[in-house]
């Protein structure tokens, strides 16, 4: 009986367990549903762009394009890796407006170790939703003198300082960061390390690298959105070929070279018509130079001095100044090129290693090639019929006004006309050719003497 009861109990127990498992599987336990959701959920993505070097128009364009592409992809955030000594104030304003005007999460990460968010970089870092720095990096020194370059008078300096202070203060307040320190970065040129920046609420966190950054910003709330970045797929957005080219184009050294090519090419085409290549090269260089001038704060007085230098160089070809005008032109060119780029930020000034050779090369070009080229345009012809004008011929048949005669010149007989009578055997001077006839006049005593000496 015991064995029979035990068997019945065991059968009932097994049957009940099967029914319970079936009921749980049918209703769907939360644990099972979570596993399915995790398996089916698409991984989050993050776009990364890297901005380094001088902040300029192409930097602003690159950041705007990267933001638009990140929004289009539906990324969790756009990360801007930043390493810059500063840049142009206008371009910085454009970038700040882009960052403050978007609800898409943006992260500025000053990296790698040893990087700097100086001057314009300070404004950009403070404008991001999340500001992060790698260890051993710096931020600050945002004075407008560093950003704008050049010398400013007292009134202009006060105005730009006041604007920059209020601008960076409004950025810091918008993002809930230390506005007092931000103002001191402009007024006093204050610069601090990543650790100090974190302590005084200039940045939000310090991260070793991108992976560490993604882990630390995971779960943070930005514009009402909780970021899910811990295991996000990263996608780097490189600069386009056009952005790389135009960022290279606005370098002061390149703009100086374009200036020289434009001058040499156009002058070369004028002095040697039909060369084509010098003229085309000069015009292309001039167009590219005008693009750079439109994008950069170029000093107009520098352009005027360079123009004066060209006038002095050309004037040397017609004036026996014994090199004085060439020397004056070289000085004007040097000062003009120096002034041309004086309004650029620190790090973009023209180097003397470029400026001095360019000045010497330009002076040599005009002293040698252009001087002889321009003079040749006004020299009398040396070949063809035009080369015979002013030379003498002997009258073989008398020439009367309104009546054609003949002259003998260079082994040939020519029909000749003259408004004054010329007798046979007299010496005439050639004035002009009209088809197969030559216009002559009585030769001067000097011309007759030279004719006899021949």
Residue 22, beta-bridge partner list: none
DSSP readout, 53-105?
SSB-HHHHHHHHHHHHHHHHHT-SEEEEEEEBS-B-HHHHHHHHHHHHT--S-
Tokens of 287: 């167009």
What's the rounded Cα separation, in Å, for the pair 392 and 395?
Answer: 10
What percent of the chain lies above the pLDDT cut of 90?
37
Residue 13 reports pLDDT greater than 70: no
CB-based contact 348:250 (threshold 8 Å): no
| Mean pLDDT calculated for residue range 205-210 | 96
User: What CA dihedral angle connects 333, 337, 338 and 344, to 10 degrees?
Assistant: 170
pTM: 0.68
Angle (nearest 5°) at CA 390 between 388 and 393: 75
**What structural domains and CATH numbers belong to the chain?**
45-240 (3.90.226.10), 250-378 (no CATH), 385-453 (2.40.50.140)
Of residues 443 and 97, which shows the higher confidence score? Answer: 97
What's the rounded Cα separation, in Å, for the pair 429 and 359?
Answer: 48
Residue 209 confidence (pLDDT) = 95
Dump pLDDT digits (tens) for 215-245: 999 999 999 999 999 989 999 999 999 999 9
Phi and psi based region of residue 400 (left: phi greater than 0; alpha: psi -120 to 50; beta: remaining)? beta
| Mean pLDDT calculated for residue range 300-311 | 86
CB-based contact 124:156 (threshold 8 Å): no
Lowest pLDDT segment from 3-7, 52-56, 204-208, 235-239: 3-7
């Amino acid at each position: 009986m015991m064995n029979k009861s035990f068997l019945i109990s065991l059968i009932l127990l097994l049957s009940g367990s099967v029914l319970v498992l079936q009921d749980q599987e049918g209703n769907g336990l939360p644990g099972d549903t979570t596993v399915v959701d995790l398996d089916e959920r698409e991984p989050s993505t993050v776009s990364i762009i890297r901005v380094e070097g001088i902040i300029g128009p192409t930097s602003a364009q690159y950041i705007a394009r990267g933001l638009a592409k990140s929004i289009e992809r539906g990324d969790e955030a756009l990360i801007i890796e930043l390493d810059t000594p500063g840049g142009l104030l206008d371009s910085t304003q454009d970038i700040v407006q882009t960052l403050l005007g978007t609800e898409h999460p943006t992260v500025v990460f000053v990296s790698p170790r040893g990087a700097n968010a100086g001057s314009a970089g300070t404004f950009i870092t403070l404008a991001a939703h999340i500001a992060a720095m790698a260890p051993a990096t710096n931020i600050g020194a945002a004075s407008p003198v560093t950003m704008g370059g050049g010398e400013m008078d007292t009134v202009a300096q006060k105005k730009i300082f006041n604007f920059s202070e209020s601008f960076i203060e409004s950025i810091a307040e918008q993002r809930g960061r230390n506005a007092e320190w931000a103002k001191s970065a402009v007024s006093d040129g204050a610069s601090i390390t990543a650790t100090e920046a974190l302590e005084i609420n200039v940045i939000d966190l310090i991260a070793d690298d991108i992976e560490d950054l993604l882990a630390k910003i995971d779960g943070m709330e930005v514009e009402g959105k909780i970021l899910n970045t811990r295991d996000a797929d990263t996608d780097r957005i490189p600069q386009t070929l056009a952005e790389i080219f135009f960022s290279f184009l606005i370098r002061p050294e390149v703009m100086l070279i374009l200036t020289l090519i434009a001058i040499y090419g156009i002058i070369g085409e004028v002095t040697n018509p039909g060369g084509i290549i010098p003229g085309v090269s000069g015009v292309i260089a001039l167009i590219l130079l005008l693009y750079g001038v439109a994008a950069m704060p170029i000093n107009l007085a520098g352009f005027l001095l360079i123009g004066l230098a060209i006038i002095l160089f050309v004037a040397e070809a017609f004036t026996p100044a014994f090199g004085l005008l060439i020397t004056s032109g070289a000085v004007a060119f040097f000062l003009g090129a120096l002034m041309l780029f004086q309004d650029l930020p620190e790090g973009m000034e023209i180097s003397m290693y470029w400026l001095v050779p360019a000045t010497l090369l330009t002076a040599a070009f005009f002293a040698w090639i252009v001087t002889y080229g321009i003079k040749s345009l006004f020299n009398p012809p040396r070949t063809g019929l035009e080369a015979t004008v002013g030379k003498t011929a002997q009258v073989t048949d008398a020439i009367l006004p309104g009546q054609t005669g003949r002259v003998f010149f260079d082994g040939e007989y020519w029909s000749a006309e003259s408004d004054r009578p010329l007798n046979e055997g007299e010496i005439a001077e050639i004035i002009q050719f009209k088809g197969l006839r030559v216009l002559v006049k009585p030769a001067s005593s000097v011309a007759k003497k030279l004719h006899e000496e021949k």
